[in-house]
Structure 1
């Protein structure tokens, strides 16, 4: 069977695990099971994209062991083939807010440490506009600029919904002046999307998937976005932070708690804006139970951002349902 034939089987398959940017189809081959990864052409860009995923996997493979092995890359049509990792997706048995197995905490910090040890000359090329290593303020503003672009692109269509949810006209004004105060830390490879749906647990070990959003940046951002997306119970969050400060080199973890708080504040704002748009588009075809699930999640996300904006976290399910009614009612 050729790689193109394998791709055709994946396209025709009715069974796929879809993220926001890619479909993943597990297929059996004579050499063993593989994962065919196909970009979703209609996906809006809601995150900073730096490198092609296959470039990242090739660069990190000698340093980080529990990542997908790249088997094939095609540009036309665009797809990748990875070795198939058999196990359980963490989110399937430990959803957001629940405690995770203790080894996951260690595995996450081990990966973060491994990524900080990849030499600069081993990572893919950086564009000319990318901030210099250690320039945390420029890196933070780069992240915020993408969030601002997403807001600007959709504000006309979502102006009424944003107002009902309490999203300010300039949602990033509250964090903008704070970037200049970030502590300098040497940049490293960041996964930048370490959450429960991107982790597979197999035989007491954690494998880390979906490297399409990997960045070269401040290691403090890695743990900040991880905390935001994992939603650990407080005791496990504290344990991860303690391990992170113990295991990583001191120059990678230097700085006050305010640096971590700033990155997390940005992620809360970004989630409120981005997920209002994402979820509204999903609601039209969603059955009632899924619609209620998405609305409930958005309540939590926007209430978290409201606290950053200095507003009470009193947004209700009914208010979010009303704000998104033009989309789910059609």
Structure 2
């Protein structure tokens, strides 16, 4: 019975944890499966509108490839059972700075093109106040309101650290002033979280995991989130942009180049805010060796400096300064 898998996963808890779910491999007589269990009390720092299982069911019905099969879902207790995808996590074989297997950027664009064909009426119901189709400024405002909410929620606890790291009192202002200039563009289904740790290279193709952040929204936002999180090499980035522009329908390409930069500005600011909180929490709640901690601090410094360009910092912040300030805040 499926509940037995859930109980086994609770006992094992030996899977990979994301920010919102535990993923536990359980071996069964029919082969391994993944039991996906929501993390109780996880801080919500992203826009979420649909239960993941409903998105996966819609994708299966529309025959979208590159997606794991949903085998079972339960509300009480809350868990899902997904097919186990044999293969390698892309981040393990090609972390940032390492050239990707050519199939990865190819399949990313292939996925985006497939998602653009999923009809709205085949997807779960939208929130009643969701922006009307094509209203990209309203869609973008929903994104930034979530980021503003994260900043407001954690400002009391991390306010001194934010200030010391150079985060302005109103960090979203440089982004909000650009939303009204977005081009109106039809909405499509977007994954909204395609990055190296959410991809498995399996039998020569890529399977994309973690659909909990899927949205009905601007396809250029999808592209921006992906580019921001992937950190492609320059030629890989150019190839992805070129192929994306060639395969997407013309109606989705209006004004995309300028709007891509606008969405990227939001993602850089969001990362600086969210990851200041998340990384500080990680360093507080876990034992890291010196190399792991150095890597985490280095990533945070990169994210802060990327946002610093949006905030027009006079000079970048050094890793040593970031490390000292974070330790001062959490010690």
Q: Return the TM-score normalized by structure 1.
A: 0.97
Q: Deviation at 1:77?
A: 1.0
Q: 2-side partners of 1:193 and 1:169: how far apart?
A: 27
Indicate the residue corresponding to 1:310 in structure 2. 312
Change (3 A) 1:282 1:238: same
Question: Where has structure 1 moved over 6 Å in runs of 4 or more?
Answer: none
Long gaps (5+) in structure 2: none
Per the alignment, residue 128 of structure 1 pairs with 128
Residue of structure 2 in register with 1:299 after alignment: 301
- Specify the alignment match of 2:169 in structure 1: 169
- Conserved? CA contact 2:195–2:230, under 8 Å: yes
Equivalent-residue separation in structure 2 for 1:323 and 1:131 (angstroms): 40
Residue deviations 1:194-244 (CA, integer Å, cap 9, x gap): 000000001211000000000000000000000000000111111000000
Aligned partners of 2:96 and 2:231 also within 8 Å? yes
Match in the other structure for 1:248: 248
CA contact (8 A) 1:303 1:315 kept: yes
Q: Helix, strand or coil: the match of 1:24? A: strand
User: In the alignment, what sits opposite 1:26?
Assistant: 25
1:231 and 2:231 equivalent? yes
1:235/1:313 CA distance change after superposition, 3 Å: farther
Instruction: Report the CA distance between 1:175 and its aligned residue.
Output: 1.1
Deviation at 1:327, TM superposition (A): 4.9
Per-residue CA distance 1:270-311 (angstroms, 9 max, x = gap): 000000000100002232332222111100000000001111
CA contact (8 A) 1:164 1:319 kept: no
What is the rounded CA distance, in whole Å, between the counterparts of 1:64 and 1:17 in structure 2?
25
Q: How many residue pairs are counted as aligned between the two chains?
A: 328
TM-score (norm 2): 0.97
Shift of residue 63, structure 1, vs aligned partner: 3.3
SS in 2 for 1:174: helix
How far the C-alpha of 1:257 sits from its partner, in A, is 1.9
* Local SS of the residue matching 1:189: strand
Work out whether residues 113 and 247 of structure 1, in 8 Å CA contact, stay in contact via their aligned partners in 2.
yes
Query: How many angstroms does 1:264 deviate by?
Result: 0.5
**Equivalent in the alignment of 1:147:** 147
Mapping of residues 277-288 of structure 1, within 5 Å: 277-284=277-284, 285-287=286-288, 288=290
Q: Report the equivalent of 1:324.
A: 326
Over aligned residues, Cα RMSD in angstroms? Answer: 1.1
Give CA deviations for 1:140-185 in whole Å, capped at 9, x if unaligned. 1110000000001111211211111110000000111111111111
Aligned to 1:58: 57
Deviates more, 1:284-293 or 1:173-182: 284-293
How far off its partner does 1:314 sit? 1.5
| Alignment CA distance shift 1:101-1:316 (3 Å) | same
SS of 2:180's equivalent? helix
- Judge conservation of contact 1:228–1:268 (CA < 8 Å) in 2: yes
| 2:12 paired residue number | 13
Q: Is the 8 A contact 2:12 2:24 kept in 1?
A: yes
Of 204-213 and 282-291, more deviation after overlay is shown by 282-291
